[in-house]
Amino acid sequence: MSSKLANTLYDPDSTPCPAVARRLDFIDYAAEVPVHTHRKGQLIIALYGAVICRAENDIWIVPPDCAVWIPGGVPHSAKATWNAHLNYLFIEPGAAALPERCCTLAISGLVKELVERLTLEGVDYPPESHVARLTRVTLDELAAMPQQKLSLPVSSHPKIRAMADALVGQPDDRSTLKIWAKRLALSERSLARLMLRETGLTFGRWRQQLHLIIALRELASGVSVQNVAANLGYESVNAFITMFKKNHGQHACPLLCRTEDRRTLA
């Protein structure tokens, strides 16, 4: 699927309904949607695989059982893994009590099923119809979903952006802050201060968050735990698993086990 096709499958602003849902599946190829914006807010739910979104100088990951919320009017882009099965819910501004900033949400089984049901409906429905009532229940339930910390702040500062782009492209680079400071023609202290000011994170914490984002994407794509650990530059699989479980909490084990189960059945 080309980026143009992925971006023009549906115009969410073509209907005044409070919310409309759409299903997108990407099999055997990745799909990338370039930067765009629309009036309606957008909820992206990953049923399988994963999608990475860029919005508001942050990178957002959407692994299975989670969703990213992008308010209306916010420019954003998205890239889905080759095996992604996604549900989109486009929501009219003010139709639901959702955050005013981009965020990731933990999605309950009920919300997933409600959105899945709405994908079977048309984009225009009467305000007192069964679909309208189902939509209101969905939006009420969605407003109660807890936020998750599955984003990576990426500053627009040219030096921080250059370092971030390099590490995103080569995540196994284990260069220290001192080495990066030399590359960027800064003192180590100046770079540390700049990093904290621009991203709110120390260099070490930022790189760890980057590794979490990449690991979530790769695991959701079916890459083995061993290969993910190697791709991120970890000396041992156990070291990677310890880091992943410590930072990803209750969602860690299902993702790790799901990956290993696929390898066993292959």
| CATH code (residue 225) | 1.10.10.60
Are both 116 and 218 inside the same structural domain? Answer: no
Are both 143 and 158 inside the same structural domain? Answer: no
Are both 19 and 133 inside the same structural domain? Answer: yes
pTM (2 d.p.): 0.77
Q: For the chain, what percent of residues have pLDDT higher than 90?
A: 54
Are both 91 and 196 inside the same structural domain? Answer: no
Does an H or E element contain 210, and which? Answer: helix 203-220
Distance CA 218, CA 224 (A): 8
Of the three residues 84, 115, 148, the one that is the final residue of a domain is 148
Are both 140 and 160 inside the same structural domain? Answer: no
Are both 85 and 60 inside the same structural domain? Answer: yes
Are both 18 and 126 inside the same structural domain? Answer: yes
For range 45-52, the mean pLDDT: 84
How many independent structural domains does the chain possess? Answer: 2
Of the three residues 124, 148, 172, the one that is the final residue of a domain is 148
Residue 11 confidence (pLDDT) above 70: yes
Own/partner pairs, 194-199, CB within 8 angstroms, 24+ separation: 194/157, 194/159, 194/160, 195/160, 198/153, 198/155, 198/157, 198/160, 199/153, 199/154, 199/155, 199/160
For range 82-103, the mean pLDDT: 91
| Domain ranges, residue 256 | 154-265
Q: How far is CA 21 from the centre of its chain?
A: 18
pLDDT at residue number 69: 95
Are both 143 and 50 inside the same structural domain? Answer: yes
Average pLDDT across the chain, whole number: 86
Are both 159 and 56 inside the same structural domain? Answer: no
Q: Render pLDDT for 245-262 as a digit per residue (tens, 0 to 9).
A: 887 665 555 566 655 544
Are both 132 and 165 inside the same structural domain? Answer: no
CATH code of the domain in which 12 resides? 2.60.120.280
132 Rama class: left (phi>0) / alpha (psi -120 to 50) / beta:
alpha
Half-sphere exposure of 89 (CA within 13 A, CB side): 27
Are both 133 and 230 inside the same structural domain? Answer: no
Residue 266 confidence (pLDDT) above 60: no
Can you read off the two tokens belonging to residue 16?
Answer: 């005044």
pLDDT at residue number 263: 45
Of the three residues 148, 167, 193, the one that is the final residue of a domain is 148
Q: At what angle do helices 203-220 and 252-265 cross, to 10 degrees?
A: 40
Are both 142 and 160 inside the same structural domain? Answer: no
